[in-house]
Amino acid sequence: MRAIAAVALNTFREAIRDRVLYLILAVALAVVGGSRFVAMLTVGSEVKIVKDLGLAAVSIFGLLIAVFVGVSLVSKEIERRTVFTLLAQPVARWQFIAGKYAGLLLVLAANVVLVGGAVLAAVALMGESPLALVPAIVLILVELSVVAAFSVLFSSFTNPILAAVGTVAVYVAGHLSWSFDLLRKRVATAAARTLCDVLHAVLPNLDRLDVKADAVHGVAIPAGTFAAAAAYGAFYAIAVVVLACIVFERREFA
Amino acid sequence: MSGALRAGLLLATAVLGTGLARARLVALDAPSSGSKDLLYLPNGKYLRAASLGQAPLAADLVYFWAIQFYSDYGRADRFRFTEHVFGSVIPELDPRFIDPYWLGALILTTEGGDLEGGLRLLDLGAEKNPREWVFPFLAGWECDHAKEYDRAAAYFDRAARIPDAPAALVRLVAGMRARGGNLREAIAKWEEVLTDPRGDDASHAIAERQVRTLTVRADLQDLEAAVLTFRERRGAPPRRLDELVHAGILTRLPLDPDGKPYRYDPRTGAVTSDASRVLGS
């Protein structure tokens, strides 16, 4: 556990020195800050626009961090050969991967707290209670934890470009996984229907973690639904990280 | 030629070329044909899928664009796709986004003169947001502007029945019933306001005055109609109002809100009331 914490802390420190992270954070905060001006373009509820833009900023810029920071986490260590120094220490390969993932999760959590906090403050300044947005922000973090797990998985066996493409593909597929349900009703053969079921079950159902629309309109998210969605995302992320550990254990370095 | 000079020349050429090409593009730009932009607006269902979890933001963006589009009064055929934008694309992306329904309805009814289209948008908003009394409320005003008072009353009545709707909505129902000529229904609604414990003193005072005024108007209307019937049957107006009861046209003679009988002039057949004079009608 100590080894994982050490790698995680190191990963976090390294990430927060990265200029790309600051650029993403600055743009995200600018979007949240500028949302009040954008809201002036609307006719009607300005607060809704501020909430929508704010939550989208938390989600989209979090995704950028998960992809751009995550995909180079392992490959950079391999490229610089620092992985050999690290693995020569009493650190198992799986601990290295788990630590990298935990470090990335810390970065994402810091981003969500910072940008999400700015959104809550912006909404509060407009005279509305921002509390209904909190479950949506928490579930955005859960969603990002799943995406980050995939970026670490891809990073553990391929180069950053392919890893980024793979992670974005999983994100897109995850948000469209509901369509397999529709497709299932239209295909004729049992084999095709089974394939639809399998793909729907295997791909991350990221739409299940999306409660932004409810939160923006002040619709209370049932505690059971929230807990089930959070548990689904957490378990899914753990499964992907375990897979990444297995892949990395079997990897041979030249 | 030095390197710096060459770079400067290249930059100047590039800037000049960009400017000329841009000017040509602007010159080639055809005047807006209105609905051309809308032909390629995807269905809301597809936009929702393509938004990858950002459907509310996509709804906001389409709404922003629609505001700009419909603010351009020079566009031809600008009402052709209004229902599609405000009643299909945006609601598919965010069905609880209230403003587009009423803005679209306002554009259709006020600018496009399409009351039915506007009401369809407001009805859709009410269907997707059954707890929002604002949709039938706005639909009621649209019908009022179109002088369709019974329809307006029905919408206000629907709005008033939604939980948390302001109690004052019943007054609008009563007002529309009166405007539509249904005086007895209007009186019944004003009596509802009068006995509503949620109402304040001002509201009760308004209701009391309306009940009094409308009762006189309704009674006078009934009595004048009865006099006319009597005249048609007998060839002459009655000498006294109680002849209307003897003739079986009325079951009883009403009294005015002060408990006094209505006054009748047998020479002209006109029925009047002291109470109505007090009320200034």
Q: pLDDT digits over A174-192, tens only?
A: 999 888 888 888 888 999 9
Six-digit token string for B153? 């009353």
User: Chain B partners of A52 at a C-beta cutoff of 8 Å?
Assistant: 56-57, 59-60
pLDDT at B70: 85
pLDDT at B29: 64
Distances (CA, A) of B21 to A185, B10, B11, B29: 52, 16, 15, 12
Choose from B70, B97, B98 for mutation: most chain A CBs within 10 A: B97
Flag whether pLDDT at A60 surpasses 90. Answer: yes
pLDDT at A162: 93
Q: Poorest-confidence range of A59-68, B71-80, B223-232?
A: B71-80
pLDDT at B34: 46
Residues of chain B with pLDDT > 90, as a percent, come to 33
- The A-side interface with B (CB below 8 A) comprises 38, 41-45, 48-49, 52-53, 55-56, 59-60, 143, 171-172, 175-176, 179, 206-207, 210, 212-213, 216-217, 219
Q: How many Å lie between the alpha carbon of A149 and the closest alpha carbon of chain B?
A: 19
Asked if ipTM goes beyond 0.95, one says: no
Flag whether pLDDT at B278 surpasses 50. Answer: no
Contact assignment for A210 to B94 by CB distance below 8 Å: no
pLDDT at A230: 94
Which residue among B52, B59, B98 places its CB closest to the CB of A172? Answer: B52
Flag whether pLDDT at A254 surpasses 80. Answer: no
Contact assignment for A171 to B52 by CB distance below 8 Å: yes
Flag whether pLDDT at B221 surpasses 60. Answer: yes
Contact assignment for B52 to A53 by CB distance below 8 Å: no
Q: Poorest-confidence range of A82-96, B198-212, B238-252?
A: A82-96
- Tens digits of per-residue pLDDT, A74-107? 888 887 788 778 777 888 888 999 999 999 999 9
pLDDT at B189: 87
Q: Poorest-confidence range of A142-146, A166-170, B104-108, B110-114?
A: B110-114
Residues of chain A with pLDDT > 90, as a percent, come to 49
Flag whether pLDDT at B279 surpasses 60. Answer: no
